[in-house]
Structure 1
Amino acid sequence: MRNKYKIVFRLLLLFVLPFLTFRICEAASANIDITAKDKTVKKGDTVIVSIYLTSDDLIGDFEGYLSYNADILEFDNDGGVAAGGEGLVKITDTNVPQGDTERKYALKFHTLDYGEAVLSLTDETGVYAFDTGDNMSVSRNQLKIEVVSDKSVSDNTNLKELKITPGTLSKEFSKENTSYQVTVGLDINQLVISALAEDDKATVSITGNKDFKTGHNTVEISVKAQSGKVRTYTIDVLKEEASEETGEENPGQDKGEVVDSTAIGKLQLEKEADNTYLTGGFYLHLLTPGEDVTIPEGYEKTSLIVDGTAITVYANTLDLDSDFLLVYGENKSGLKGFYQLDRRENTVQRFNPVSVKEGEKLVIPKNARNIEHYQNQIVILGIVAAVLLGICSALAIGIIRMVLKNKNTED
């Protein structure tokens, strides 16, 4: 009898199993479409991003995580079902009273900068069936929004100046030429780069200028225009090995050039909150000169790349190739002013506009000329005072003698 029940149970199982398998294969699915009316906008515009959910089954709860480029777009947190910022928005729509097959969410963004922003839902996004609460399989897309410039915005991505230390570029710098080479010795791990953009509103950044390995290394200097357009200049840095025949550690160095290799590479930047410090055997808090600060005559504003960051420096207009630059800052003693930076030896000292280093061309500022003029005037006045003092002394002696003579005569 028991065998008969087993046979009947197996027959029923074989009959029901195909239907169960078919039901599992028919899992609920949903589609998410991210779209916007305008995919090409301008800086300062408002962009409405719509998220559409569709499914053949009833949609229940939804939790979505939308990522975006925070440097190009800013999310308008209006306090609805969506909240977040800094590159990620969370959409929470749970405990829905009634399921539906279509659903729409609208998010407002403002454009901050030029470039292309990509909006997409992360893998943590979940769409759940209303009837069962099961997680649906989801297909989704990406949305790209391009922020373009108008005619009034500059798209100048040219460099005006490019200098390096140590070494020499393989060819003379030209803003149209974006590729250069340089050979350095075994002890060089990075370059000191001075890069000045042709447009003051463009920004300069650098990558790859650290920890050179033996052989070829690529340093990239990117110039981002106000419009968001970018041009990249490259320097192929060849770091040579030690010479086995001569035993030289730096065969790529010019034999006629004396370089203190122990000083190269000391220049560094340290950042604490919004403060930037220039270090390397010294400690200088970099500052921006106020309106009451006069830039020394004969110097123009430029930039120097240190640790991949551009800092503001001032170069002598009569000798732009000079190794000496000016930086404005405050030392440990709290003394603010201009300091002279030797970008070859990476040293900093207080700037004295009257003193001129040998081989350095320097224009003496007007205030220095005024000091010299006043000093000359003081010398002249001193001479005149001495002469007058001598005359007064002679007159006093003469008067005393006359008084004494008259007194003797009366006696």
Structure 2
Amino acid sequence: MKIIKKILAFFNILVICGCFLSVINANAEESASVLISSANGVVGEKINITVTINASEDIGGAFIYVSYDNTIIKPTSGSNSGVIRYEFTDGKSYGMNESLTQEFEIIGVGTTTLSVTGDSRIVSINNERESISSSSSGKVTAKAPASYSSDNTLKSLQISPGTLSPAFSPDRTTYNATVDADVTELVVSAVANDNAAKVSISGRRMDPGSNTTTITVTAEDGSVKRYIIYTTKLGDGQEATTEAESKTEAVTEDASQTVNNDGTVTIDGRKYSIVQDYSGITIPEGYQEADYDYNGQKINAVKGIKTGFILMYLEGEDGKGGFYIYDESAKTFLPYNTVAEPEITYVVLPITNSLEKPAGYALTKFTMNGKEVQVLMDADRQYCLFYGVSSLGEKGWFRYRVSDGTIQAYSVVKSDTANADVKADNGKTSGNNRFWLTIVLILGLIIAAFIVITIVLCTKLAKVKKVFNMASKDGVDLDEYTEKVIDGYAEDEDDSYEELDTSSDKISYGDDKSGKSDVEELKLFDVEDDK
């Protein structure tokens, strides 16, 4: 009976493990991802955008909602709401990979990102609704035909109340103005030089202190020019300053930079205005628009999600500009220079005297990604070190290989960067690793249980074999005895029958299982003394 119980217990373990594996497989395999294609074209052309679902099991159906800029593209059928639905619900049998294509028409110049939005869920995987585990966005870049005009200038610009200083000129993009304390809104009249160009105005509300009004002119071909008016709203009882006084500059900690009273900033002799309208500007990846308190005035800046950097777009009087890093402690602007490897971007920062510099390198200037930056160069000019911050949020020294442009973290941050890379890779495979590790552990437990049970059975078999050998030698019929008595007989070290040959020819083995108090007796075969 004991052997049978052990065998049954072993099979119970196998059944439980099998059920557990089934649950793990079900949980691990129920996943799906969505891929959206990209396209390029010219205004007036038609393009196709394909949505592909990759699932671990057969797809029962899906509704995939995709957002887009309805001023750049529109579906050739249906409404142009800015969101289109891809329906995988025609009742046919879907496999693990399915695609659906929609046709769009390009109606405007620019770039739009197409991404999954709203309640996009896999309707059925293993008869259950499952959320999309990951999705990749598509992009449509729309260009203007050669016949489109590139004229993005203004023909006239006027404000009320107040006057522009200096007088308006189509080629000048920055102006100053002053209004009284009772003015709540600046009235702006801006007329484009080309009738096909579009004009938009932001920042008309006048708050006490400095105000920025931006006039954005978008040409027919999509090129953009911005005119900026810096308006000072006087306080109660305050008189307007003269033009000479308004040009007084406050010098910052960095002697090469000055912040002007009109809100502009002078860097290395060039005057820049801070742009707050990013509609026609490509924001660096990993950054997003955010409100920022700049010199007591709330402005629209760009903030790094992981780096924490504050970026502002500075535009010169010639209309050219770019992003700059705003140093909050020093209140100065630093050039925003980047170098990149696949999946990681590095912001290159200036090397200051306060930094602890590694030995064996010389401070010099080096061109990276088309821009001149400060680096530490080794004697052989095979490697250089730059100080910066990665898109993973790691700050420190990084080593740049001159021959192929590969980048590695240097010194104490090397292990951190390596760990970050490993984590990025592990993030994609951790689910699979856990799944297979669980399987290995369960198989190990099953094998261990099998070994233990095998040892027990072999021990039992050896014991039974010994009993039969002894019984055969002594001429004993084992069917006449209980398992307890036989076990005692088998444990007799002298291999004799004395364990059963007691003073009586009957053996008492205790009360029966029914609870009776009487003792059953088993009669023994007569055994000759010489045996």
TM-score (norm 1): 0.51
- Contact kept, 8 Å, 1:219 with 1:235, in 2: the verdict is yes
Residues 39-66 of structure 1: CA deviation (Å, up to 9, x unaligned) = 2211110111111112231111111112
1:178 corresponds to which residue? 173
Structure 1 residues 15 and 88: CA distance shift in structure 2, 3 A: closer
Residues 149-204 of structure 1: CA deviation (Å, up to 9, x unaligned) = 12211011111222222222232322232122211110011222222212222122
Structure 1 residues 171 and 74: CA distance shift in structure 2, 3 A: same
In structure 1, runs of 5+ residues without a counterpart are 1-7, 78-82, 243-247, 255-411
Aligned identity (percent) is 26
Structure 1 residues 108 and 95: CA distance shift in structure 2, 3 A: closer
Amino acid at match of 2:208: T
Structure 1 residues 99 and 147: CA distance shift in structure 2, 3 A: closer
1:68 corresponds to which residue? 68
Amino acid at match of 1:167: G
For 1:4-403, list aligned pairs within 5 A.
19=21, 22-23=24-25, 25-36=27-38, 39-77=39-77, 84-94=79-89, 96-210=91-205, 212-242=206-236, 248=237, 251-252=239-240
CA distance in 2, matches of 1:139, 1:15: 31
- Contact kept, 8 Å, 2:212 with 2:231, in 1: the verdict is yes
Structure 1 residues 61 and 16: CA distance shift in structure 2, 3 A: same
Secondary structure, in 3 states, of the residue corresponding to 1:186? coil
Secondary structure, in 3 states, of the residue corresponding to 2:181? coil
- Contact kept, 8 Å, 1:28 with 1:136, in 2: the verdict is no
Structure 1 residues 172 and 76: CA distance shift in structure 2, 3 A: same
Which range moves more in the overlay, 21-30 or 116-125?
21-30
CA distance in 2, matches of 1:47, 1:26: 37
Amino acid at match of 1:26: A
CA distance in 2, matches of 1:17, 1:131: 17
| Cα distance, 1:28 vs structure 2 | 1.4
| Cα distance, 1:209 vs structure 2 | 0.7
CA distance in 1, matches of 2:22, 2:117: 32
CA distance in 1, matches of 2:45, 2:51: 20
1:363 corresponds to which residue? none
- Contact kept, 8 Å, 2:43 with 2:107, in 1: the verdict is yes
Structure 1 residues 125 and 42: CA distance shift in structure 2, 3 A: same
- Contact kept, 8 Å, 1:167 with 1:253, in 2: the verdict is no
CA distance in 1, matches of 2:26, 2:79: 37
In structure 2, runs of 5+ residues without a counterpart are 1-8, 243-531
Secondary structure, in 3 states, of the residue corresponding to 1:57? coil
Residues 113-163 of structure 1: CA deviation (Å, up to 9, x unaligned) = 222222222141111444323314331111221211122110111112222
Aligned residues: 233
Structure of higher CA gyration radius: 2
CA distance in 2, matches of 1:96, 1:57: 17
CA distance in 2, matches of 1:23, 1:105: 29
CA distance in 2, matches of 1:35, 1:140: 11
CA distance in 2, matches of 1:94, 1:201: 43
- Contact kept, 8 Å, 1:30 with 1:127, in 2: the verdict is yes
- Contact kept, 8 Å, 1:57 with 1:129, in 2: the verdict is no
CA distance in 1, matches of 2:23, 2:58: 22
Structure 1 residues 198 and 95: CA distance shift in structure 2, 3 A: closer
Secondary structure, in 3 states, of the residue corresponding to 1:171? coil
CA distance in 1, matches of 2:91, 2:42: 37
CA distance in 2, matches of 1:63, 1:71: 24
| Cα distance, 1:15 vs structure 2 | 5.9
For CA contacts below 8 A with separation 6 or more, give which structure has more relative contact order: 1
Amino acid at match of 2:64: G
CA distance in 2, matches of 1:35, 1:229: 26
TM-score (norm 2): 0.40
Residues 198-225 of structure 1: CA deviation (Å, up to 9, x unaligned) = 2222122211112x11111111111111
| Cα distance, 1:97 vs structure 2 | 4.3
CA distance in 2, matches of 1:84, 1:174: 42
Residues 82-108 of structure 1: CA deviation (Å, up to 9, x unaligned) = x55321212222363423011111101
